[in-house]
Amino acid sequence: MIQAIDHIGIAVRDLEASITLYKTLFQIDTMHREQVVEFGVDIASFSLNGVRIELTAPLHADTPIGKFLDKRGEGIHHVAFRTDTIGEDLQRLANNDIRLINTEPQNGAHDMLVAFLHPSSTGGVLMELCSEKP
């Protein structure tokens, strides 16, 4: 069951400059850093009252984030929702004509399983489902 917002993904061109900006904006000292090679991203994240903010930069231009930046520029990329039944949720959504980018959960950041829903089926918003690995 989908339970809460897990994180907000923000596409950035320069991760180091964005880290400096967000540390200043939110008066934080450290961020979690991670690369997810499968998605071609370099990530820095921090938590605000239980909602993670995830700054996401492309490892190279030919990635979904790289293409997003070329087309739309920096800004909110996706909203991620936490679930404890990701497989069941994907099946339920597919049965209700929600277009899935990932029909099966993939390995994502923070040691989570993730799957994306296509914005053509979700009112123009790229949505991600994420779940702790069993």
Question: For residue 111, what pLDDT is reported?
Answer: 93
Number of domains forming the structure of the chain:
1
49: left (phi over 0), alpha (psi -120 to 50) or beta: left
| AA letter at 127 | M
Residue 89, domain CATH = 3.10.180.10
* Interval 96-113: pLDDT, tens: 999 999 999 999 999 999
Supply the pTM of this predicted model.
0.92
Residue 32 pLDDT:
97
pLDDT of residue 36: 94
The pLDDT of residue 1: 92
| Pairing state between β 127-132 and 75-83 | parallel
- The per-residue pLDDT for range 54-66, each reduced to its tens digit, is 999 999 989 999 9
Q: Are 82 and 4 in contact (CB under 8 A)?
A: yes
At 122 the pLDDT is: 97
